[in-house]
Amino acid sequence: MSYCRWSEGDLHAYASHTADGVRRYVAQVAEPAIERCGVEAEYVEDSADAFLARLKWLKARGCEFPADVVPQILAAAQEEARLARLAAGELPWAATIVTLYPEMFPGPLGTSLAGRALGEGRWSCEPVQLRDFATDKHRSVDDTPAGGGAGMVLRADVVAAAIDSVADGRPVLAMTPRGRPLTQERVRELAAGPGVTVLCGRFEGFDERLFEARAIEEVSIGDYILSGGEMGALVLLDACIRLLPGVMGAASSGDDESFETGLLEYPHYTRPQIWEGRTIPQVLRSGDHAKIDAWRKRRAEIDTRSRRPDLWERHEGARVQSPSGARRHED
């Protein structure tokens, strides 16, 4: 068996990553090493500091550690610690974007609210070049459509290899007009999670077998066709990032916005009070907050009904639905 010289920094990182790390290290590495050295010792470490003191003590007695064990335990402990920190919301919301155009990220998300949040480490942006997963010398990612027809199709094997290389339990979303339309409700769920991996299509899109073989959520950003999934990914990411804790600031939670309650938002006004002969509705200048709230609610309903009958219908449907799912008559 070969032995490696342990670096104090590595082991300190390891021990402090996880409460279990110290115990596991002692059982898997320190105990056999101590035995080999023939050193008699009491070694029950319950803190990183005590653990480090023990390591120094062992080192002074010439103990070294198996080369293959230390990196493995270190990697496992780091992964365990990363997942625990993700679950505890201590790590940045992570966006990985699989694309043929990594230079498009963070793009506009590097400015304004999202850009500041990126700088503050509230989210991370990792573009991944799809072409790096091609297997031929031409680095091909696409091929002609089975059955003929125009355009090219992204290969399932190449895209799957890219996804597998970044898989860590975050949801994987593919941008495609065939997907489920993105909603504020889904955006909220995604923003509350550890982050997303987004696949950006190009050409005619993805080989369908990809969606059979991997757990991928197909997402559309609307009933129109973009030239690639990158713009859709930017839209999706922007919608999520503004909801991350601390991004919009304490003043706004975003709860009031259109779609949050199933309705469009009420209209806004600001100074000057009279502009081109048009005045701000009197109620908004009244200072009577109950009346203002009632006016806003009413306008949200009127505008949703006239501009988005589809939303209104869904809203009304949900409103008259009893908790058991049975419809009831409105009062």
Ligand X SMILES: C[S@@+](CC[C@H](N)C(=O)[O-])C[C@H]1O[C@@H](n2cnc3c(N)ncnc32)[C@H](O)[C@@H]1O
Fill in the per-residue mask, 77 to 116: x = in contact with ligand X (CB under 6 A), - = not in contact.
----------------------------------------
Element (H, E) at 82: helix 69-87
| 107 assigned to a ligand binding site | no
The one among 200, 234, 240, 244 contacting ligand X by CB under 6 A: 200
Tell the smallest beta-carbon distance from residue 115 to ligand X (Å). 23
Binding range to ligand X, per CB under 6 A, among 46-54, 228-236, 253-261, 284-292:
228-236
Residue 228 in the binding site for ligand X (CB under 6 A): yes
CB atoms within 10 A of CB 322: 8
Residue with tokens 């008259």: 320
**Binding segment toward ligand X, per CB under 6 A, in 16-24, 79-87, 215-223, 260-268:** 215-223
* E strand or H helix that includes residue 199: strand 195-200
Q: Is 227 near ligand X (CB under 6 A)?
A: yes
Binding of ligand X by 178 (CB under 6 A): yes
Q: How far apart are the first and last CA of the chain?
A: 80
Q: Would you count residue 21 as binding ligand X (CB under 6 A)?
A: no
| Token pair recorded at residue 9 | 């920094």
Answer for which of 201, 262, 266, 312 binds ligand X (CB under 6 A) is 201
3-state secondary structure of 273: coil
- Is 20 known as a binding-site position? no
Q: How many CB atoms lie within 10 A of CB 152?
A: 15
In the complex, least distance from residue 244 CB atom to ligand X, rounded to whole angstroms: 22
Binding mask 156-175 for ligand X (x = CB under 6 A): -------------------x
Q: Known binder of ligand: residue 226?
A: yes
Q: How far is residue 310 from each of residues 153, 242, 316, 325, measured CA to CA in Å?
A: 34, 26, 10, 20
Those residues whose C-beta lies under 8 Å from the C-beta of residue 202, and which sit 6 or more positions away, are 100, 142, 154, 227, 228, 229
Q: Are strands 93-99 and 65-66 parallel, antiparallel or unpaired?
A: unpaired
Q: Choose between 63 and 182: whose C-beta lies nearer to ligand X.
A: 182
In angstroms, give the least distance from the CB of 182 to ligand X. 8
The answer to whether 191 contacts ligand X (rule: CB under 6 A) is: no
Question: Least CB distance from residue 129 to ligand X, whole Å?
Answer: 16
Q: Are the beta carbons of 201 and 231 closer than 8 angstroms?
A: no
Judge whether 317 is annotated as a binding position.
Answer: no
Please identify which residue in 176, 197, 216, 284 interacts with ligand X, judged by CB under 6 A. Answer: 176
| Smallest distance, ligand X to C-beta of residue 167, A | 20
Q: Is 232 in the site for ligand X (CB under 6 A)?
A: yes
- Decide: 307 and 313 in contact? Cβ < 8 Å: no
Number of residues forming the site for ligand X (CB under 6 A): 19
- Is 153 exposed, middle or buried, given 0-12, 13-18 or 19+ CB atoms closer than 10 A? buried
SS (H, E, C) 124-190: EEEEEEHHHHCCCCCCCCEECCCCCCCCCEECHHHHHHHHHHHCCCCCEEEEEEEEEECCHHHHHHH
Q: Is 222 annotated as a binding residue?
A: yes
Q: Which is nearer to ligand X, 124 or 220 (CB)?
A: 220
Regarding 2 and contact with ligand X (CB under 6 A), the answer is: no
Q: How far is the CB of 234 from ligand X (least distance, A)?
A: 11
The H or E element that residue 16 is part of is helix 8-17
Report which residue's Cβ sits closest to ligand X.
201
Which residues contact ligand X (rule: CB under 6 A)?
Answer: 175-178, 200-202, 204-205, 220-222, 224-229, 232
Binding-site residues for S-adenosyl-L-methionine sit at: 201, 221-226
